[in-house]
Amino acid sequence: MTEQQTTLAKSVSIEGQGLHTGTKGTMTIKPAPANHGIKFQRTDLKGQPIVEAHINNVVSTDRGTCIGNAYAKVYTIEHVMAALRGMQVDNAMVEIDIEEIPIKDGSALCFVKAIEEAGLIELDAEREYIEIDEVITMEIPEKKTKIEIRPSKRFSLAVVIDFESRVLGEQSAILDDISDFKVKIAPCRTFVFLHELEFLLKNNLIKGGDLNNAIVFVNRKIPQEEMDYLAELFHKPKVKANGKGVLNNLELYFDNEPARHKLLDMVGDLFLLGKPIRGHVTAYRPGHYANTEFVRMIQNKVTINAFPND
C-alpha cells in the first residue's frame, strides 16, 4: 500500500524568542508542493535566502542543530523538525524573521499543535522512504556513544541516556510507532544541569532562557544567596530544588522525560536525511553531534534520491 506525501492545509504562525539569542520573532510554517522537502527561509535578510533542512547543510551542533549556507543560517531547528516528522509532514516552507527557532516551552508540543491547527493535505506524489538493508553502527568511544540502525519495515527508535549523576543517571525511552510521537514524545522539554546553566549565563549564551522552557537538574547543594540570584535573574519570587533534584519545583510530565526529550531531538536530527527512514534505531548517549554524524554515515551507505531543489 502506497502513502501520499503531505503538506499543511494552510499557513500557521508561532511567535517567540530564541533560547540563546533572546531575539523575539515570528516563524510561519507554510504549505509546499510535492518533493519540496523541508526548507527554511530567512525573511529578515536581504533576498530572503532559503536553506534546505538537509544533513549537507548542517554547520554546527553546539547546543542545538544549526543549518546554513553562504547566505543564511538557522539555529536550533531540531524541535520543529521533530514536530514535522512526528506529524508526518513531508513538505513545508518555514519562514522565520530571526536567526533562531523560538524555544517556547523547550519541547515540540507548540509546533505539533500549530501543525494540527493548520491541518494536513495529501499531495499527488508518493511518499518515499529511506530503506535500511544492512546494520549500520557508529561509535564515539570518548563520549561512550553508540548508535545503530537495523533493517525494519517501519521506523522505531530506542534511546538510553546516562549522565552518571545522582539526579540523572541511566534512563531509557522508546518510540515504537511515529504515530505515538504527539502524545508520548512531543511534550517532553529540554533539560540542563545547574552548573551548565551558570556557565551559559556567564557567557551570555541563553538570553531567551527562563525556568519555564527547560528542566534544570541540581546535583549539588546550592547556597541560598545563589538561589536568590537565580530567582531575580528569571523574575521568580523564589526558586528551590525539589526532592528529585529539579529546580523551581517543575513537575516532570514523565519520570523519563529527559530520555524522551533526547529521543525527540533524534527524531528531528534523523529527518535531516530529507526523507523518513524505515529501520530500527538504538542509541546510547546520543547528542546532536553524534546524531548528525550518524545521519552522514547513513547517507554515505544508502542510496538516497534527494528531493529536487527547484
Q: How far apart are CA 102 and CA 14, in angstroms?
A: 8
Q: Return the CATH number at 116.
A: 3.30.230.20
Supply the pLDDT for residue 305: 46
Decide if 257 is inside a domain. Answer: no
Residue 60's domain spans which residues? 4-128
Supply the pLDDT for residue 310: 37
Decide if 27 is inside a domain. Answer: yes
pTM of structure: 0.89
Supply the pLDDT for residue 300: 93
Decide if 160 is inside a domain. Answer: no
Decide if 28 is inside a domain. Answer: yes
Q: How far apart are CA 55 and CA 81, in angstroms?
A: 12
Decide if 286 is inside a domain. Answer: no
Question: Strand locations in the chain, DSSP E?
Answer: 4-8, 12-17, 24-30, 38-42, 50-52, 58-60, 66-68, 73-74, 92-96, 120-126, 130-131, 136-140, 145-150, 155-162, 170-175, 191-193, 215-217, 277-284
Q: How far apart are CA 213 and CA 106, in angstroms?
A: 4
C-alpha cell belonging to residue 92: 513545508
Compute mean pLDDT per 10 residues along the chain, 310 residues long, and list them. Answer: 93 89 91 98 98 98 94 97 98 97 94 98 97 96 97 97 88 97 97 73 58 73 69 61 60 93 98 97 98 97 54
Q: Any catalytic annotation for residue 20?
A: no
Decide if 46 is inside a domain. Answer: yes
Decide if 144 is inside a domain. Answer: no
Decide if 60 is inside a domain. Answer: yes
Supply the pLDDT for residue 307: 46
Q: What per-residue string of b and e applies to 231-270 under the rule 16 or more CB within 10 Å gives b?
A: beebeeeebebeeebbbbebebbeebbbbbbbbbbbbbbb
Measured over all CA atoms, what is the biggest interatomic distance in the chain, rounded to whole angstroms?
A: 63
Supply the pLDDT for residue 302: 84
State the total domains in the chain: 1
- Of residues 20, 261, 280, 288, which has the active-site annotation? 288
Q: How far apart are CA 11 and CA 13, in angstroms?
A: 7
Residue 128 and residue 275 in contact, taking contact as beta carbons nearer than 8 Å = yes
Residue 256 and residue 173 in contact, taking contact as beta carbons nearer than 8 Å = yes
